[in-house]
A and B are shown apart, each in its own frame.
Chain A
């Protein structure tokens, strides 16, 4: 009886991020605190490609970044389309439907909620 329970506990902790990650995520917590007023981050993951929409103030437009990512177990890493690597790799976990990304280098922790991109998102021209 204990063995199946033990197995069930492993499955709960190690989500299949290949299936759980794709989609749109809105940042709801940044390093332990709610995002500063105006700071808005949207992550979009699909088939190894990502998009980030980010801005720091409601008076600004979003800057769009694109690139590719890979998942190995619960480790997420990636690089931007201009060749710049991400700031670090991230360990992923799910907490009550929230995606938690923890920096593998350093101490940052960010939480995201599954969502949908708002329509009419204003993006900076390139």
Chain B
């Protein structure tokens, strides 16, 4: 069916709603969202299964197909999405209205805006000399002393009067076991990453199938010169220093994998040991200068990340205004399809986990719910804490949040937030390093730790399902709940900390605990013939007594092996059971990461996660589960 009047490749007749005021376009049939505030002058359409794009519409595939992945692309409907560009002069809504009349078109989606939840602090680096107590760490990066989130010895002269020792992610202990694996790739979906940065260049992913700057798609993946990733916003080379760029992508990348132990700059979670062994950063650019970028860029970037080897998707951005999983799925269905494709076990890019991991910021609106897409129940959604070990004043919390992580707080004394790499071109002082704060910064700390964990799992030849691995991440936390009493001064109001209880996720991420969890949690012993009370904090994190439990599953063979009398009961972070027989059993216990209800289509909530708990029942037990 042709619509030459509207969509011919020649210039069509201009159509203006102002000139045609009687045209009714308030409701566009088949549109899943509103054109009001659309980020671009294009829109997306999904055609029906088996249908072809009608002639006369200037449309191109949203997702570039990859040879060998056609079946997986069809499974997630990626082959049915197109970007439509109305002819010059054609108004967006009128064009969409015309397209909605085409039977082959199943749905229409206007481009929601992408938002970046961060603020730059542009602080001078403190001229604080090393103290003997202040630098007991293994990396020689001179600015590590200003990265309290990696190691915090409580020095108040450096990090302010509210600084609390130990409010870091225990990375020094984790580095004893693992510093990174170059085969683990983290896709930074953000502004472009400055891949020539002195403290990033050695940890950039490099597409070995591409010859740089020859203007050709050498590897046939649909993208030209995509050596370090690609710029999906501008459909071209990665950029980071256009007017409007803030260095956000480079800062995020540095938190994940700035090169460690190279004698310059900063350290990072998974930046290696100094031997070129950090995890790798893939730049998937969706923000560019002052462009108002929409979901099409994000959707393409996410698919690219899956198709080119990323196993962690690092997303510090928000999308539109949605308040339920169903609304997000339906209103942002192209990007949702891309996320599903990325997480599909068939797309697993790391041998240690069957499926890839999505980590997304909760947002900086100091609202009592996370923003989407982070809030969607499948993704790991990150809230922010500060160096006082309390929620950051700006962080979203509540429904949709799964875990907390250091994000910095610019209002605390000294105001030192999160130090990382930036493009010198975007920094006021032309420095290669700068402070920023936000859930945007908290999120790459989690992404980096997830990547560090994958590196360790590979080293140990451990293999997990995606859900198992996500559960390990969510249960590798330090306590926060018991500190949520009293008040904390924010920039414009006082925070009632009790209102954050049960709303910051499972706790504050800890890298050391994740590596121990990957090794495995040792069994616990219970005395045969009497009720045993098993503390689940070893499996579910230090705040286990504050979690909401969904249940415990025991295979029948295991139930018989320990002679389980009645049911195992979960309460207050403890498992109560009575075993009447000597033996071993493996139970699966499930809790909610974040809040008291599971996220569903109609209600925002937390993410269920499960851990396997090994129990040995015997006639005598020691207090520390030692065998004798």
Contact = CB atoms under 8 A, between A and B. Distances in A.
A107 B583 contact: no
B614 A106 contact: no
A114 to B, nearest CB: 17
Contacts of A113: none
Nearest to A62: B522
Given A60-B614, A65-B627, A87 B520 contact: no
B628 A52 contact: yes
A39 B620 contact: no
B197 interface: no
A86 B582 contact: no
Contacts of B625: 63
With a 10 A CB-CB cut-off, give which of B586, B621, B622 has the most chain A CB atoms.
Answer: B622
B516 A125 contact: yes
Interface string B204-217: 00000000000000
Interface stretch (A1-9, A11-19, A28-36): A28-36
A52 B627 contact: yes
A65 B626 contact: yes
Contacts of A80: 622, 624, 626
Contacts of B620: 87-88, 103, 105-106, 108
A94 interface: no
A95 interface: no
Contact of A107 (B176, B561, B619, B624): B619
B619 A108 contact: yes
A67 B31 CA distance: 70
Given A57-B586, A108-B619, A90 B628 contact: yes
B347 to A, nearest CB: 25
B584 A36 contact: yes
A31 B614 contact: no
Given A80-B624, A86-B622, A57 B614 contact: yes
A108 B519 CA distance: 30
A98 interface: no
A34 B627 CA distance: 16
Contact of B624 (A32, A84, A122): A84
B515 interface: yes
Contacts of A71: none
A59 B622 contact: no
B619 A124 contact: no
A55 B627 CA distance: 10
A102 to B, nearest CB: 11
B583 A63 contact: no
Interface residues of A, number: 39
A41 interface: yes
Given A61-B519, A65-B626, A56 B618 contact: no
Interface in A47-73: 50, 52, 54-57, 59-61, 63, 65, 67
Contacts of B519: 61, 124-125
Given A65-B624, A125-B177, A103 B522 contact: no
Contacts of B583: 33, 36
Contacts of A101: 628
Contacts of B520: 55, 57, 59-61, 124
Contacts of A65: 624, 626-627
A6 B167 CA distance: 70
A74 to B, nearest CB: 16
A87 B176 CA distance: 33
A87 to B, nearest CB: 4
Contacts of B628: 43, 50, 52, 78, 86-87, 90, 101
Interface in B389-408: none
B532 to A, nearest CB: 14
With a 10 A CB-CB cut-off, give which of B619, B621, B622, B628 has the most chain A CB atoms.
Answer: B628
Interface in B112-163: none
A36 B618 CA distance: 12
A103 B619 contact: yes
Given A103-B619, A107-B619, A125-B515, A82 B614 contact: no
A30 B522 contact: no
Contact of A33 (B521, B582, B616, B621): B582
B585 to A, nearest CB: 8
A41 B628 CA distance: 10
A52 to B, nearest CB: 5
A86 B626 contact: yes
Nearest to B522: A63
A20 B460 CA distance: 37
B518 to A, nearest CB: 10
A126 B588 CA distance: 24
B614 A87 contact: no
Contacts of A55: 520, 522-523
Contacts of A103: 619-620
B1 interface: no
Given A56-B523, A124-B516, A30 B618 contact: yes
Contact of A106 (B522, B586, B619): B619
A90 B620 CA distance: 11
B428 interface: no
Interface string A113-126: 00000000010110
A63 B618 CA distance: 18
Contact of B623 (A60, A61, A84): A84
A39 B177 CA distance: 26
Contacts of B624: 65, 80, 82, 84
Contacts of B621: 87
Contact of A38 (B582, B584, B622): B584
8 contacts: A30-B618, A31-B582, A54-B523, A60-B520, A85-B622, A103-B620, A107-B619, A124-B522
- State the 5 A-B residue pairs at the shortest beta-carbon distance, nearest first: A56-B523, A87-B620, A36-B584, A108-B619, A63-B522
Interface of B: 176-177, 460, 515-516, 519-523, 561, 582-584, 586, 614, 616, 618-628
